[in-house]
Amino acid sequence: MSYNGHIAVEGPIGVGKTTLAELLAERLNGKLIREPVDDNPYLADFYKNRERFAFQTQIFFLMNRYSRQEQFAYGDLFSACSISDYLFAKDRIFARINLTEKEFVLYDKVSSALERNAPPPDLAIYLTADVDFLMRRIKKRGRPYEKGIDRKYLETLIEAYSGYFFHYSDSPLLVIKADNVDFIRDSEKFSYLIDKIISKPSRTEYISFDSLAIDGK
């Protein structure tokens, strides 16, 4: 199977973005582009003291993500497909909830200038999950710097993601509830998702793996 274009997988912390992106890259013979999370020198301090280190953390992520945009714009000689475990525009979701009003004004000036040169994906996949699922996943993977993530912050983040993707219109969008599917173990559901991607959705579609039912708008 093949897919031409850029697919971006998104969702809150711990939802399984990277896992799904890796699976898609393998199945679609695509180039995998991971979010540079571990490269951020401010991230551990941010989770200890969000107010103090939010701006440094956000600007680093913004610039680092932007530096990788050329991989989407110019593609790959050996692969017509690229899969990222992040959406460039998602940076603004975190900025809205973490920065002060004055910090966001400065951030917005930088971000708005960069976004003009950041093409949207050909398809976005938004993974949703409840806070209990995310807390379990974060605890299970055991990243030291994520120990400072609390339930209230995740609830705020889930709400921010939900609001952003409710109004999302930059590309076709697949919305998947991630706490009722394991794409690694359930090959049938993963194949179903691949078929949906290959069919080139043209709008927002909601996939429920509880009954393999699809809703669209």
What tokens does 85 get? 């475990």
Q: Is 85 a catalytic residue?
A: yes
- Give the side-chain half-sphere CA count within 13 A for 169: 2
Number of neighbouring beta carbons within 10 Å of residue 83: 29
* Active-site pick, 38, 45, 76, 85: 85
142, 148, 152, 156 alpha-carbon torsion, rounded to 10°:
-80
Name the token pair of 138. Answer: 């974060």
Q: How many helices (H) and strands (E) does the chain have?
A: 9, 7
Where in the sequence numbering do the catalytic residues fall? 85
